Structure 1
Amino acid sequence: MAALSVPVLSFPHHPKVPNSSTVNNDLRFPYYPLLSLIDQCTSLNQLKQIHARMLRTGLFFDPFSASKLITVSALSSFSSLDYARLVFDQIPQPNLYSWNTLIRAYASSSDPVRGIFVFLLLLDRCRESPNKFTFPFVIKAASELKASQVGRGFHGMVMKSSLASDVFILNSLVHFYGSCGDLDSAYRVFRNIPRKDVVSWNSMIKAFVQGDCPDEAFQLFREMEMENVKPNDVTMVGVLSACGKKADIEFGRWLCSYIQRNGIAVNLTLNNAMLDMYVKCGSIEDAKELFDTMPEKDVVSWTTMLDGYTRMGDYDEAQRVFEAMPNEDIAAWNVRISSYEQNGKPKEALAVFHKLQVSKSAKPDEVTLVSSLSACSQLGAIDPGRWIHVYIKRQGFKLNCHLTTSLIDMYAKCGDLEKALEVFYSVERKDVYVWSAMIAGLAMHGRGRDAIDYFSEMLKAKVKPNAVTFTNILCACSHSGLVEEGTGLFHQMEPVYGVVPGVKHYACMVDMLGRSGRLQEALEFIEKMPIAPTASIWGALLGACRLHGNVELAEHACSKLLELDPRNHGAYVLLSNIYAKTDKWDQVSRLRKVMRDSGIKKEPGCSSIEVNGIVHEFLVGDNSHPLCKDIYKKLDEIAAKLKVIGYVPNKSHLLQFVEEEDMKEQALNLHSEKLAIAFGLISTVPSQPIRVVKNLRVCGDCHSVAKLISKVYEREILLRDRYRFHHFKGGHCSCMDYW
């Protein structure tokens, strides 16, 4: 009965077509009534009715008639590429138009590689050679796939044909090379176009914008005007995008007035480009003025405004925009989640993700999940991270490299390295970012030897390491004291792997040498660097001086760091710690006075622990928690038990001068990580690990206490500080006290 619901077409009464040769020789054939009905179809079922009729009459076996059927089945609003391919495969000798139509449809589909396969079949089976319409479609397929070598092959075929000067094909090649990031080749093709049209200029401008070369895009726009080529709305979208990348609001305003002065037609796309430019240039006022006057708005318009307010940190106004949106689609939710996640507000990001789940107004996509997993990573919140992993499985998301990398990062940063490894081994395709994430996870957990082994396996898998990979592997060597291995890898970066060392790699080397006690060697390394030392490099040396108590070198490193970054509170704190450790309290007081007078504030220590899906945060001496009485009672119990087994507080870790001995112990007892561990002891079952995340480096006394608690209470404690993980179990730490 379902077939009755399909509108039935009224077929014309027409004599049966005797054979294709008769049809082709009939001059009235283009107006054959049955063919005219193809253009009137509004559904695939109607098209199938005509197809069936064409088969019965023999009309289908005429190449022209079949090509009309192919066009509608492949390119209409109700198209079905699977059906179009079945139709195509029934045609005995498809004409070139039919081949081109199928290639065009595949090139714009989610599987453009099939367009290339059809092109290869064309070369083998079609009597005609590819024409000026064939090449742009197949080059588009190569662009979508970023298939550099394949596209170059098509370029070579064009050059050998009679089509080497066709502007339509050459414009496609400019777009192709731009999509592949080969701006030199794109520009070479562009310059060799004999008669450039506006599309030529637009394609090259877009290529420069996509390749993060806004200045070159501006220069081309100026040349375009000098050549008297009138820019259109597409040109202005490209130039406005370049302006957004430069964050040049004055030039952006000039472009908007240029559009008005030159009578360029302003449509929704161009308005959205102006809106996006204003937001990226930081002028939310200009954006709001334009937004309020736009005659038509779509989800891009609303989402851009939402993004603008979140960039400014005006979350209240962002919420109002969100609530006013006609349709709260997933793009809008993603802007809110990612803005919180990228601005250090992971709790808020997960709260928005939870609201999305409850509201069911949109379905999470890959962007949602990646941002939410990143928020879990920041918080060390493993429960919501696990829930997202289950959701990915249940919803049938393909575990691509982006999601795989995010899951590995989440599990590693939440302390479950074994689960991170399980995810890593569950996928067949591993790109450089998946390998790098796994190496980073091993580095964070102090498994330097394993990280080196995985780096070797990565090379065997023929995956080329990049700058991120080397940052991670050098960190792994630094945290595990593998100085010789790390040094060897560093010196191989450029000559063997073609990766030029950057600031992060030099900072890793300074940290590696300094952490191992080779402070003078670290200083000499800095002095011989081919690039100017940055604040991070002097900071690495200063941190090493803190570990080994070298006051003189610490003062030198601190002065260099403050020359580059006068308001770096970390520099003052590190030097203050070194002075405190060596009982130079007058110098501590002097530094703190400088900080007060300059309005520089130390980042407060904060530790968080997740219990039953809720993240609890503690500051030093915190008494705001509802269970604070129970927490401090537990701390007293811990102190008593540890004294019995001979624990003596390490008062050198106090960062202020305290005369009374009992007050020194009390001050150490108030550290945020101890409060979090105490809360974990009273809030979790003995079989459950206590997972704590601290925003700063864990202090030496807290590290000693955590080791003893893990033994006395027979509890596993996972403490993640700013730099790495510490696994405490049975009175030992995974870092082997090298941290």
Structure 2
Amino acid sequence: MGIYGAMMKALIKNDMLNEAVHLFFQIPNPDEIIFVLFFHACARIGTEEALSLVKKVLSNLPNSYREKSNVPTTAFDAFIKCGDLSSAEKLFPKIKKILTSYGNLMNAYNKNNQPEKTLDLHEQMKFDKIEPDYLICYLLLVNACSNIGILSIFNSYGLNGMGIQAIELFNQMPRELILEETYVCVLNACSHSGLIDQARSILSTITNKTEKIYTTMVDCLSRSFLFDEAQKLIDHFEYYHSPSPTMLTTLLSGARNRRDCHLSEKIFNRIQENFPELKNRLTSSSILLSNVYASTGDVEKSSNIKNKLYKLGLKKTIGLSWTAINGRLFETHDQSHPQSSEIYAEAEKISNELIEHGHQYDSSWITRPLKQDETVASVLCGHSERLAIAWNFVVNPNTKIIQITKNLRVCGDCHQTTKLIAYIRQCEIIVRDANRIHHFSKNGRCSCNDYF
């Protein structure tokens, strides 16, 4: 056995890693040292093929070696070096707690955009009474904290439509602190501000374009209805990888906003063909396709999809809006408020003002057949954020700022009318919907520049 160990050590020392792995499988009944050398070689290789071998060998590891610290510890290191953080986390509680293992896992968390876990692991290290190397720990913690802080700022810029500020911050960052999530955040900020050229420029500088980065850029292009360019990006990704359900759903969402039935059907069919097992993904995609049909007047196709979802026990989420005035929560077409008559009277007054200023209600945002006693205006004016806005004016007709939080994405008609309400009533209106924060200013514009 000593001869085999010496041969593997020599191969590893001379970077003949694949040969060392091949030799391992020729050794009958390998001992602890041989297993350690094998995992060490796989860690150095760091490919998916090496990861597969690590999992195979570890699953068949004799119980006597599972209890010895060196074997599982080197397997743990192999998982990290091969990029399988999930498996490394599962194995971590079973290995001997040493400073190197903590440091490797903390570093892996930072590289995988999970800085919060780095901080948590540092606390666990103190609890386990592991004496830290202060320089190494300091650098890892600084890296984690800086990324948490910077990413929070990027996210804030993105949510509030401040794409230019996000790009300025990005350009000031040291290159060594830029991780995958940094690129995702700045591209997302560009997406929500319509900064297409800037997003293209940033994308061109990224060497390792991950699925998240591709998806964010597809979102950026789709929001501007640049579907051909978005599809080329997807095609390039799929040349090297399997299709991404998130990427395709992002493209479908853009097609829904464009009310493009043909494109929506094409994307939905791809999602259905490639991911039949992803029930939640298929449900959300079905709802998007149903809304496309409804927005283009094809009520029958829209109803068929909704009926299928209903039979599966799935129901549409009710629109809810919360406003700070008396902490009031409104549902769509809510009649439960004791001052409902005043609220609806104010909503009708606002509606008349909107019509006087040239607004035409957009029926494409109504995704169900109208009832006999309903009109396009009455349905859209009954949306939860519209009732919350009316309530604010009932309480204070001269209010200068309104703040609303909504559980769903604001619809196109409500977005347009809220811009006009802010202009007519000379009142700033801030709406936090499911995707972002809209700042409607007194000049009748929104911070998102209509990229929402």
Q: TM-score, normalised by structure 2?
A: 0.66
Q: Tell me the residue number matched to 1:511.
A: 219
Classify 1:436/1:685 alpha carbon distance in 2 versus 1 (closer, same or farther; 3 Å): farther
Q: Tell me the residue number matched to 2:149.
A: 434
Q: Tell me the residue number matched to 1:487.
A: 200
Give the Cα separation in 2 of the matches to 1:583 and 1:525.
31
Deviation, 1:555, is 0.5
Equivalent pair of 1:570/1:602 in contact (CA under 8 Å) = no
Classify 1:230/1:544 alpha carbon distance in 2 versus 1 (closer, same or farther; 3 Å): closer
Classify 1:640/1:516 alpha carbon distance in 2 versus 1 (closer, same or farther; 3 Å): closer
Equivalent pair of 2:219/2:250 in contact (CA under 8 Å) = yes
- Matching of residues 107-118 of structure 1 within 5 Å: none
Highest RCO, 1 vs 2 (Cα 8 Å, sep ≥ 6): 2
Q: Deviations over 1:387-408 (max 9, x none)?
A: xxxxxxxxxxxxx99xx99xxx
Q: Tell me the residue number matched to 1:650.
A: 362
Equivalent pair of 2:393/2:399 in contact (CA under 8 Å) = no
Classify 1:490/1:229 alpha carbon distance in 2 versus 1 (closer, same or farther; 3 Å): closer
Give the Cα separation in 2 of the matches to 1:738 and 1:549.
15
Give the Cα separation in 2 of the matches to 1:647 and 1:669.
13
Give the Cα separation in 1 of the matches to 2:177 and 2:192.
24
Picking from 458, 475, 481, the partner of 2:188 is: 475
Q: Deviations over 1:622-676 (max 9, x none)?
A: 2234543443233223223333333332222111122769522111111111122
Give the Cα separation in 2 of the matches to 1:678 and 1:463.
50
Q: Which amino acid aligns with 2:421?
A: I
Equivalent pair of 1:569/1:601 in contact (CA under 8 Å) = no
1:600 correspondence with 2:314? yes
Deviation, 1:435, is 1.5
1:452 correspondence with 2:167? yes
Equivalent pair of 1:431/1:463 in contact (CA under 8 Å) = no
Q: Tell me the residue number matched to 2:292.
A: 578
Q: Tell me the residue number matched to 2:100.
A: none
Equivalent pair of 1:684/1:690 in contact (CA under 8 Å) = no
Gapped regions of structure 1 (runs ≥ 5): 1-183, 185-194, 205-212, 253-268, 271-365, 368-399, 406-428, 495-499
Aligned-partner SS, 2:310: helix
1:717 correspondence with 2:429? yes
Aligned-partner SS, 2:205: helix
Q: Which amino acid aligns with 2:213?
A: H
Q: Tell me the residue number matched to 2:260.
A: 550
Give the Cα separation in 1 of the matches to 2:243 and 2:437.
28
Deviation, 1:685, is 8.6
Picking from 655, 667, 672, the partner of 2:384 is: 672
Classify 1:652/1:230 alpha carbon distance in 2 versus 1 (closer, same or farther; 3 Å): closer
Give the Cα separation in 2 of the matches to 1:229 and 1:636.
76
Q: Tell me the residue number matched to 2:272.
A: 562
Aligned-partner SS, 1:719: strand
Aligned-partner SS, 2:392: helix
Q: Tell me the residue number matched to 1:628.
A: 340
1:690 correspondence with 2:402? yes
Classify 1:531/1:684 alpha carbon distance in 2 versus 1 (closer, same or farther; 3 Å): farther
Classify 1:219/1:676 alpha carbon distance in 2 versus 1 (closer, same or farther; 3 Å): farther
Aligned-partner SS, 2:177: coil
- Matching of residues 129-208 of structure 1 within 5 Å: none
Aligned-partner SS, 2:247: helix
Q: Which amino acid aligns with 2:336?
A: S
- Matching of residues 284-295 of structure 1 within 5 Å: none
Picking from 323, 345, 364, the partner of 1:609 is: 323
Q: Tell me the residue number matched to 2:446.
A: 733
Give the Cα separation in 2 of the matches to 1:463 and 1:681.
51
Equivalent pair of 2:362/2:413 in contact (CA under 8 Å) = yes
Give the Cα separation in 1 of the matches to 2:57 and 2:330.
54
Equivalent pair of 1:606/1:694 in contact (CA under 8 Å) = yes
Q: Deviations over 1:487-518 (max 9, x none)?
A: 23223222xxxxx3332222212222222222
Deviation, 1:475, is 0.9
Larger radius of gyration: 1
Give the Cα separation in 2 of the matches to 1:619 and 1:531.
43
Classify 1:216/1:685 alpha carbon distance in 2 versus 1 (closer, same or farther; 3 Å): farther
Picking from 158, 164, 167, the partner of 1:443 is: 158
Q: What is the percentage of aligned positions where both structures have the same residue?
A: 28
Give the Cα separation in 1 of the matches to 2:350 and 2:299.
30
Q: Which amino acid aligns with 1:593?
A: N
Deviation, 1:682, is 3.6
Equivalent pair of 1:569/1:602 in contact (CA under 8 Å) = no
Give the Cα separation in 2 of the matches to 1:218 and 1:686.
70
- Matching of residues 24-173 of structure 1 within 5 Å: none
Give the Cα separation in 2 of the matches to 1:554 and 1:230.
52
Classify 1:641/1:559 alpha carbon distance in 2 versus 1 (closer, same or farther; 3 Å): same
- Matching of residues 344-355 of structure 1 within 5 Å: none
Give the Cα separation in 2 of the matches to 1:477 and 1:686.
35
Classify 1:601/1:462 alpha carbon distance in 2 versus 1 (closer, same or farther; 3 Å): same
Equivalent pair of 1:619/1:671 in contact (CA under 8 Å) = yes
Gapped regions of structure 2 (runs ≥ 5): 1-16, 18-30, 41-50, 80-85, 95-118, 121-137
Give the Cα separation in 2 of the matches to 1:230 and 1:621.
62
Q: Tell me the residue number matched to 1:705.
A: 417
Give the Cα separation in 2 of the matches to 1:736 and 1:599.
38
Aligned-partner SS, 1:726: strand
Q: Deviations over 1:189-244 (max 9, x none)?
A: xxxxxx999xx9xxx9xxxxxxxx9x96996797574xx679499x99xx9xx9xx
Classify 1:709/1:431 alpha carbon distance in 2 versus 1 (closer, same or farther; 3 Å): same
Give the Cα separation in 1 of the matches to 2:66 and 2:255.
63
Aligned Cα root-mean-square deviation (Å): 4.6
Classify 1:220/1:592 alpha carbon distance in 2 versus 1 (closer, same or farther; 3 Å): closer
Give the Cα separation in 2 of the matches to 1:515 and 1:230.
52
1:527 correspondence with 2:240? no
